[in-house]
Amino acid sequence: MTAQPNNPLHGIKLEQIVTELQAHYGWEYLGYTINIRCFTHDPSVKSSLKFLRQTPWARTKVEALYLEMLSKRRK
């Protein structure tokens, strides 16, 4: 396995990403921003992880939102 010093997501688990996004934005905003059922109908970290692990396009959107959140925190 090679080191990825320029990848801000390296070493961060999907569960941590979803948990931090939910804590920062809340389910309602997540469902509004990324309109996927696991965020809009009876949301939970567990159901979100199951869906995101099977759906690459949705995971990409969630990771992008996480990176956006991190960049705003740094400012």
Q: Which domains does the chain have, with CATH numbers?
A: 14-74 (1.10.720.30)
Question: Tokens in use for 3?
Answer: 């080191």
Q: What is the pLDDT of residues 4-48, one digit of tens each?
A: 667 888 889 999 999 999 999 999 999 999 999 999 999 999 999
At residue 75 the predicted structure's pLDDT band, cuts being 50, 70 and 90, is confident
Distance CA 63, CA 42 (A): 21
